[in-house]
């Protein structure tokens, strides 16, 4: 089944422009410093991975080491590895933070009740977030009037009633006779990203490969893809070496694909996602920094969860739950929040996206643009099913004292709303 529907708002990632000049953003004119164009690079379409690798750990992994000594003509130390080598970069006492969210079978098709299914009266629905009871928040492929009753294809006895629908296709709907979970488990499909153009495998295989091996919480309609490279064997080996493997949860929504359409990044409206971090994880991170061990986040979602934690919770750890829309980009007040980690495992992201901006804070703008240029030249696989990257920040193996956290973790009321 083709996966090309519902692509409104997806950025044009097949740019023909030249790779952006790796000049420091702080040297750019004020009117250019916060332009998304600084995060543009050429991404050949053939480098966008369309299939998962059967062996997750066989993916390549680019080591971006901002601590290493470089040659005069280099921007940053880059080493080509495979993800199966990742354990070599960890020591006993380090903390690895995973996002344990699980992608639900959120994609379904429906038609108006009482009508023969055809293109005119059929819609695609992406069930984004369970609201409780029989109510869901969803995205729909075309506007539908409130109180319209839809019959879900493949489950003739399953109907939903549209309660509201806005101009962008966000709807709230109610299932007629259940919570909806049983219906989605029966007829729902795993929602692959729009840049993956075909499914080509069974739903069972896609569901397995588009989820991490540690996925637990059924809360997302997109995967925290940096974690797709881990196997049970790699996680076991890390634990044997004394690495503390810890979990947070961030519900990944469709907003992760939302493009930056404003000229000034400071005017970009970041999507909101729910996240949760247990008190024990905060304590372990504090201890790791106090004892000069590394804290490594797996994926931008894990990092955004940690970066959303306010100073008072770092000082007095408690379970932390919030709806966060934190936007981290070079020159922002939130940029200092990445000080909660010493390293980041991530995939290769689309040009001019908020994900590119976040990793530019973690590694530095010039190093990340150099890394992406290298990855294109070496034909790394990009995006969700693509290869990985380990960014070693300048604090790697140094471990900032938690007494210094005030420098990056100030009051987050402007970015988060406590749940």
pLDDT digits (tens, 9 = 90+) for 153-163: 998 789 999 99
Residue 153's closest CA among 193, 186, 194, 199? Answer: 186
Calculate the alpha carbon distances from 8 to 12, 103, 165, 169 in Å. Answer: 11, 21, 16, 10
Confidence band, pLDDT 50/70/90 cuts, at residue 183: very high
Q: How does DSSP classify residue 198?
A: B
Please state the φ and ψ torsions of residue 286, each to the nearest 5 degrees.
-55, -45
Confidence band, pLDDT 50/70/90 cuts, at residue 258: confident
- Strand ranges, E, within 59-106: 60-65, 77-82, 95-99, 101-103
Distance CA 272, CA 321 (A): 13
Distance CA 190, CA 107 (A): 6
Q: What is the pLDDT of residue 231?
A: 98
The answer to whether residues 211 and 60 touch, using CB atoms and an 8 Å cutoff, is no
Q: Is the pLDDT of residue 208 over 60?
A: yes
**Residues in Cβ contact with 376 at an 8 Å cutoff, skipping those fewer than 6 apart:** 19, 41, 42, 43, 44, 47
Distance CA 101, CA 249 (A): 6
Q: What is the pLDDT of residue 371?
A: 98
Confidence band, pLDDT 50/70/90 cuts, at residue 186: very high
Calculate the alpha carbon distances from 356 to 93, 182, 351, 383 in Å. Answer: 30, 37, 7, 11
Q: What is the pLDDT of residue 109?
A: 95
**Residues in Cβ contact with 357 at an 8 Å cutoff, skipping those fewer than 6 apart:** 36, 39, 260, 265, 328, 329, 330
Q: Is the pLDDT of residue 328 over 70?
A: yes
3 state SS of 284: helix
- What's the half-sphere exposure (Cβ side, CA atoms, 13 Å) at 32? 12
Distance CA 207, CA 211 (A): 6
Confidence band, pLDDT 50/70/90 cuts, at residue 97: very high
- Let me know if 326 is exposed, middle or buried by CB neighbors in 10 A (0-12, 13-18, 19+): buried
Which helix (H) or strand (E) segment holds residue 107: the answer is strand 107-112
Q: What is the pLDDT of residue 415?
A: 40
Residues in the chain: 419
**Residues in Cβ contact with 153 at an 8 Å cutoff, skipping those fewer than 6 apart:** 108, 109, 110, 111, 117, 122, 187
The answer to whether residues 161 and 148 touch, using CB atoms and an 8 Å cutoff, is yes
Residue 24's closest CA among 13, 38, 11? Answer: 38
Q: What is the pLDDT of residue 198?
A: 74
Residue range 278-291: average pLDDT?
97
pLDDT digits (tens, 9 = 90+) for 336-389: 999 999 999 999 999 999 999 999 999 999 999 999 999 999 999 999 999 999
Q: What is the pLDDT of residue 120?
A: 84
In the chain, the N- to C-terminal Cα span, in Å, equals 38
Count other Cβ atoms within 10 Å, centred on residue 161.
16
Q: Tokens 């690079």 — which residue?
A: 41
Count other Cβ atoms within 10 Å, centred on residue 251.
22
Q: Is the pLDDT of residue 246 over 80?
A: yes
pLDDT digits (tens, 9 = 90+) for 285-312: 999 999 999 999 999 999 999 999 999 9
Count other Cβ atoms within 10 Å, centred on residue 127.
24
């Amino acid at each position: 089944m083709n996966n090309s529907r519902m692509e409104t708002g997806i950025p044009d990632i097949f740019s023909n422009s030249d790779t952006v000049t790796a000049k420091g953003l702080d040297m750019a004119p004020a009117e250019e410093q916060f332009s998304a164009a600084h995060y543009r690079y050429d991404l050949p379409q053939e480098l966008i991975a369309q299939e998962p690798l059967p062996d997750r750990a066989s993916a390549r992994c680019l080591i971006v080491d901002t601590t290493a000594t470089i040659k005069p003509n280099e921007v940053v130390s880059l080493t080509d590895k495979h993800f199966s080598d990742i354990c070599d970069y960890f020591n006993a006492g380090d903390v690895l933070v995973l996002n344990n969210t699980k992608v639900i079978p959120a994609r379904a098709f429906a038609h108006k009740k009482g009508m023969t299914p055809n293109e005119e009266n059929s819609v695609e629905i992406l069930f984004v977030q369970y609201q409780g009871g029989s109510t869901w928040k969803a995205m729909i492929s075309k506007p539908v009037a409130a109180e319209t009753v839809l019959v879900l294809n493949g489950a003739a006895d399953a109907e939903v009633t549209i309660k509201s629908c806005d101009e962008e296709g966000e709807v709230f709907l109610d299932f007629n006779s259940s919570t909806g979970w049983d219906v989605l488990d029966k007829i729902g499909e795993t929602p692959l990203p729009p840049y993956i153009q075909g499914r080509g495998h069974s739903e069972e295989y896609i569901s397995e490969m588009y989820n991490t091996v540690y996925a637990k919480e059924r809360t997302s309609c997109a995967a925290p893809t940096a974690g797709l490279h881990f196997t049970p064997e790699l996680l076991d080996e890390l634990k044997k070496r004394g690495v503390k493997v810890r979990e947070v949860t961030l519900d990944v929504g469709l907003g992760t694909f939302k493009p930056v359409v404003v000229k000034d990044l400071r005017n970009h409206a970041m999507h909101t996602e729910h996240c949760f971090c247990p008190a024990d994880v905060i304590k372990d991170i504090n201890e790791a920094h106090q004892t000069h061990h590394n804290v490594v986040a797996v994926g931008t979602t894990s990092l955004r969860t940690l970066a959303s934690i306010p100073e008072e919770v770092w000082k007095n750890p408690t379970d932390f739950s919030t709806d966060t829309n934190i936007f981290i980009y070079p020159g922002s007040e939130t940029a200092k929040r990445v000080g909660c980690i010493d390293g980041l495992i991530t995939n290769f992201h689309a040009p001019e996206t908020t994900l590119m901006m976040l990793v530019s804070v973690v590694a530095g703008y010039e190093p990340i643009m150099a890394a992406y240029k290298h990855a294109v030249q070496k034909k790394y696989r990009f995006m969700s099913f693509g290869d990985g990257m380990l960014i070693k920040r300048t604090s790697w193996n140094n471990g900032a004292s938690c007494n210094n956290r005030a420098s990056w973790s100030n009051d987050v009321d402007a970015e988060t709303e406590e749940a």
